[in-house]
Chains A and B, each alone.
Chain A
Amino acid sequence: MRLAAVDPEALSLGLSPGLTLADARAYVTQLLVFDHDEGADQRLLERLADGCERWSPIVALDPPDGLLLDITGCAHLFGGEAGLGEDVERTLDRFGLTVRTALAYAPEAAHALARYQTRPAPDEESAVRRLAVAALELDPEIETGMRRAGLRTVGDLAARPPALLAPRFGQATVDHLARLLGRRDSRLTPRRPLPALLVERRFAEPVAHVETMLGALTELMAEAATALDARGSGGRRFAARFFRSDSEVRDIAVETGLPTRDPAVLDRLFRERIDALVDPIDPGFGFDLIRLGVARLESLAPSQLKLEGGTVAEAELAGLIDRLSIRLGRNRVRRFAPRDTHIPEQAVLAFPAIEGGRSTLWEPPPSGEPPLRPIHLFDPPQPITVLAEIPDGPPRRFRWRQTQHEVARFEGPERIAPEWWKPPPGKECLTRDYYRVEDVRGRRFWIFRHGLYGRERAHPDWFMHGLFA
């Protein structure tokens, strides 16, 4: 076992990461050791990355211990680059985190400067050039090779033509050097796609009152609506992020079936969403930033109300589906589409109504026939006890849910064979013989025998699969 990380005090005692635990215990007898939890480190880093979105929407993880922010066009909001750096350090210092910040034109350069800069330099370029070759984080062998060749700093390497370096230290080294020196384009990949439209509101003092916060959100929505109106588009997905002053971030998103930019509608949806939250918003020490992102834009022409009110009814219905989807859950408000299969429980595709826009064509049932499919279907089918069985026919009497049913008339069998071309893994495929039966009281059931007599099963089981009106 080796040390994964040490605190400043341990460092001052001569311990360093990579030392074996036995050696470390020998140096410092009262050493406190904890198990290394990589997952927790990653989670902390991700949480911090969420919090860091307050400074820039483009944040990338730089594991195991770094975060990269693209602050292009953001710095002036915090009083310049120096001000931004100070703000970051001050904010993160509150959680007992020791942060080193570095600003550079390339992510690799910022990464290296934050970790390997030992002496101050007049400008960024000379700072990078003064870094030791260790800053390139190469294989120890290559690094040793460089030192033997008398190349000690990045500047030494930069002075040599790349064509000479490549055969000796590898193309990867040359590429990395080029990115570090800003000779090659290098960009951050944001952790999540950037929304098409982003509006935000900052507070000088953290706001601990949820209602005030929602008021600010309403203002943001009006702002977004103006911007959307100018583009002639509407949004389908709106995500609000609430940044707490202690770097906790809360996301709340709403979705609509039709593109919209109506602040009143959005306000209502957000309130529904917040009311339906299992764990309510905890303001804690207060929120200091709210950001509203519109993820999906769709064109939405300015609409004119139809005299006969067709559009109004449609919009009203879409609004109802949005509200219900938010309150009950996206998958609990459904519409139905047919699927091409004979297996009754798989014959229907229930999709969220909010997705909409699906053309579903149901074939009308043959005229003159009584209903052949039940209106209520049990999935899975429920076993029934057969009391009086006749071969090749439905039972004369059966028991289901503690009630005995005497079959008066029946129709069947309707044989539904399993889909042998795609057998379910680990399950046996049995043929089902369905009967529509009516008991003496007029109740109509859909029951089936699972398996063919003799051929598939000696004594097939019977199941209740549905109820007719």
Chain B
Amino acid sequence: MRESPFSLAALKRHIASIEGHSQARSDQLFTLGVEAIDAKLGGGLAKGRLHEVFATEPEDGASAAGFAMMLALRASERMKPILWLRQDGAEKRDGRLHAPGVAEIGLDPARLILAVAGDAALLLKAANDGVRCAGLGAVVIEPYRAARAIDLTVSRRLALSAEQSGVTALLLRTDADPAPSAARTRWSVKAAASTALFADTPGMPALDINMLRHRGGPDGLAWRVEWNRDQRSFREAPFPGVVLPLPVGRSAAAGARAA
């Protein structure tokens, strides 16, 4: 039993060598912009890896899509295009991706390339090609419902391609249950009540994010965050029910619309 710590350490090193450069360097990380969360994540999320975003309930699909878009923005360099892959069914059920709304999240729609695939097999094939293309900033893959084609092998392949090209892959599942995968992190996203602005109007997008899984890190953590479009950054959401003081210069426009 005396040797066990050494053999354990050796085993860990061995596994690390099999997994390749698993210990991500800080320049291969992207932060969420909230210190408390980034500290827990060990500096941020890994670039050029596969991350999964689940909607807690199917009705939270738009929030999950928003979160995936925000992560894609944080993960990719400015000006690099983002490829969004969707399946026909998602396009029909959840509505189509609306470019002005994409701009409202902070992503310039001119950077967005949308590809719609007829079925899951085509989608995954396209995703594999997309993830290998180093000219992209990030790839968001959005299958429809519980596509059975997506299994451990598929996610492993995506993760490997992402690792080679350095393109961050985000697998967005709006209506599916988590299954074993090779993803670096797995998030469950739910809409949260926003901080009301002037005259009790809905404020910035607020999300309850729950990290279900984190390879090589703590998991099961939950936060409530708010997206700041102007800084393209998350921030911790204040406690619900607190009304923020009105920023100067905003009142007239907001008041007119709220009337």
Interface range, B side: 35 or more
Interface range, A side: 35 or more
Question: Closest CB of chain B to A360's CB: distance in Å?
Answer: 4
Residues of A within 8 A of B89 (CB): none
Contact B257 A469 (CB under 8 A): no
Interface centre among A333, A366, A440 (most CB of B within 10 A): A333
Distance, CA A371 to CA B228, complexed state (A): 10
Question: Closest CB of chain B to A406's CB: distance in Å?
Answer: 12
Residues of B within 8 A of A360 (CB): 109-110
The A/B interface has a contact count, at CB < 8 Å, of: 211
Contact B201 A466 (CB under 8 A): no
Interface assignment of A441: CB less than 8 Å from any CB of chain B:
yes
The main secondary structure of chain B at its interface with chain A is: mixed
Contact B190 A442 (CB under 8 A): yes
Interface assignment of B67: CB less than 8 Å from any CB of chain A:
yes
Distance, CA A375 to CA B192, complexed state (A): 17
Of the candidates B63, B117, B247, the one whose C-beta lies within 8 Å of that of A368 is B247
Given contacts A371-B105, A411-B258, contact A469 B205 (CB under 8 A): yes
Contact A361 B110 (CB under 8 A): yes
Contact A348 B98 (CB under 8 A): yes
Given contacts A373-B104, A438-B194, contact A336 B110 (CB under 8 A): yes
Residues of B within 8 A of A410 (CB): 201-202
Interface assignment of A334: CB less than 8 Å from any CB of chain B:
yes
A residues 390-434 touching B (CB-CB < 8 Å): 403, 408-412, 414
Question: Closest CB of chain B to A320's CB: distance in Å?
Answer: 4
Interface assignment of B95: CB less than 8 Å from any CB of chain A:
yes
Interface assignment of B60: CB less than 8 Å from any CB of chain A:
yes
Residues of B within 8 A of A120 (CB): none
Residues of A within 8 A of B98 (CB): 344, 348, 373-377, 466
Interface string of A110-141 (1 = CB under 8 A from B): 00000000000000000000000000000000
Interface assignment of B38: CB less than 8 Å from any CB of chain A:
no
Contact B62 A467 (CB under 8 A): yes
Interface assignment of B103: CB less than 8 Å from any CB of chain A:
yes
Contact B193 A469 (CB under 8 A): no
A residues 296-327 touching B (CB-CB < 8 Å): 312-317, 319-321, 323-324, 327
Contact B201 A316 (CB under 8 A): no
Interface assignment of A370: CB less than 8 Å from any CB of chain B:
yes
Given contacts A316-B134, A410-B202, A466-B95, contact A376 B65 (CB under 8 A): yes
Distance, CA A386 to CA B95, complexed state (A): 21
Interface assignment of B29: CB less than 8 Å from any CB of chain A:
no
Interface string of B231-259 (1 = CB under 8 A from A): 00000000000000001011001100110
Interface assignment of B96: CB less than 8 Å from any CB of chain A:
yes
Contact B95 A320 (CB under 8 A): no
Interface assignment of A78: CB less than 8 Å from any CB of chain B:
no
Contact B191 A371 (CB under 8 A): no
Residues of A within 8 A of B62 (CB): 374-376, 443-444, 467-469
Distance, CA A372 to CA B229, complexed state (A): 12
Contact A377 B205 (CB under 8 A): no
Question: Closest CB of chain A to B154's CB: distance in Å?
Answer: 17
Interface string of A423-459 (1 = CB under 8 A from B): 0000000000000111011111000000000000000
Contact A371 B104 (CB under 8 A): yes
Residues of A within 8 A of B249 (CB): 368
Interface assignment of B151: CB less than 8 Å from any CB of chain A:
no
Given contacts A332-B116, A336-B112, contact A442 B191 (CB under 8 A): yes
Which of B19-27, B44-52, B125-133, B214-222 touches A?
Answer: B125-133
Distance, CA A92 to CA B118, complexed state (A): 42
Given contacts A328-B122, A444-B191, contact A333 B115 (CB under 8 A): yes
Residue of B nearest to A309 (CB): B134
B residues 206-226 touching A (CB-CB < 8 Å): 206-208
Of the candidates A316, A319, A334, A368, the one whose C-beta lies within 8 Å of that of B114 is A334
Of the candidates B109, B191, B230, the one whose C-beta lies within 8 Å of that of A443 is B191
Residues of B within 8 A of A370 (CB): 194, 197, 201-205
Interface centre among A314, A320, A327, A335 (most CB of B within 10 A): A320
Question: Closest CB of chain B to A322's CB: distance in Å?
Answer: 11
Contact B65 A469 (CB under 8 A): yes
Contact B101 A373 (CB under 8 A): yes
Known: A312-B134, A444-B191. 14 other contacts (CB 8 A): A317-B136, A320-B136, A327-B126, A335-B113, A360-B109, A362-B108, A371-B104, A376-B95, A377-B98, A378-B95, A441-B193, A444-B202, A468-B62, A469-B66
In order of increasing CB-CB distance, the 6 nearest A-B pairs are A469-B66, A317-B135, A371-B104, A467-B62, A411-B201, A377-B98
A-B contact pairs, 20 of them (CB 8 A): A313-B134, A317-B136, A320-B129, A320-B130, A328-B126, A334-B113, A350-B114, A361-B110, A365-B103, A368-B230, A369-B254, A370-B202, A371-B229, A374-B95, A377-B97, A436-B201, A442-B192, A466-B101, A469-B205, A469-B227
